[in-house]
Structure 1
Amino acid sequence: MTLVELADAADVTARTVRYYIQQGLLPPPVGGGATASYTDAHLRQLKAIKAFQLQHLPLSEIRSRLGQEPPAEPGPAAAAPSSALDYLDRVLGHKPSGGMPLAASIAPNAGSPLLVRSPPAPPYGASPPTSGGRSTWDRHQLVADVELHVRRPLPRDVQRKLDKLLDYARQLFEEAP
């Protein structure tokens, strides 16, 4: 399917899909340029991201959770209509505030793409894509010839520690030898 078809099916914008690929939340499309195509695995991944967002998780946490346990290979468990949602229940390790499992709270309807078996997505993890993908990095210059590079986005607690580290490093380099 095309980028527009994927975005429509997942109820997101094409820009959102591109952003998720850039942030490492989605694998790059199959092929490139005008021949780029997206699979049902991309759609399932987008639905998983949206379900995590319902839990109010930041994108950095979603990326790390998706990277901890890649989606299961097709088989008996993956053929079940709510297998992607069951996966989310396992990863989250708890039930939403309504008390029912996540899969039950957003179960697919009969026409849902989750009912269609598709090939697995190419493997990828929480690390940045190595080829064809992009990452967003911030460059912090401490002094001439000394820089600190940070991949974005960061969880809030890590951002606070980074701010302290940058303050300390700048003070350290400002001290006279």
Structure 2
Amino acid sequence: MNTADVLADAFGRIQEVVHEAVEGLSAEELNARLDPGANSITWLVWHLTRIQDDHVADAAGREQVWLSQDWVGRFGLPFDEGATGYGHSGKQVAQVRVDSGELLLGYFDAVHEETLEFVTGLKGTALNRVVDDSWSPPVTLGVRLVSVIADDLQHAGQAAFVRGSLERRRR
């Protein structure tokens, strides 16, 4: 197994968790918040996808799927088109809503496809390339991708937790 295979596997695991957290839920369940300060499944999946899209597109020198495939228009959120959810207030979290899981999974899967295309093409020492020199030490591509994977898995796990909590409430 090479580096590209490991990265593709990690991103594939994120996709599995995201689908398990979203599929089969109603809009009400997707948009539900366990309390007024909590994140909904919708917000968690949208946010993790926005971060992945933003960071991978930047590293790959591509336009974000959010813009290039007009997901920004499909979601119709009341934020700047570059918003990723980072630092969102509870009020802003509440504004990220969907009518079905199809929109969330459509955007996630489109970003996943672009991500796999990028990471499976990495060769040799590509992960050593500096992608952000505003940090000390500078952030390499490898560090950036691991950061995205870690963040995505945390938020996907949170979405799975919310789903489990909602399902227990139904019983």
Shorter-chain TM-score tier: under 0.3
Q: What TM-score, normalized to structure 1?
A: 0.23
Tell which has more relative contact order, 1 or 2 (C-alpha 8 A, sep 6+): 2
More helix by share: 2
More strand by share: 1
Q: What TM-score, normalized to structure 2?
A: 0.24
The structure number with the bigger radius of gyration is 1
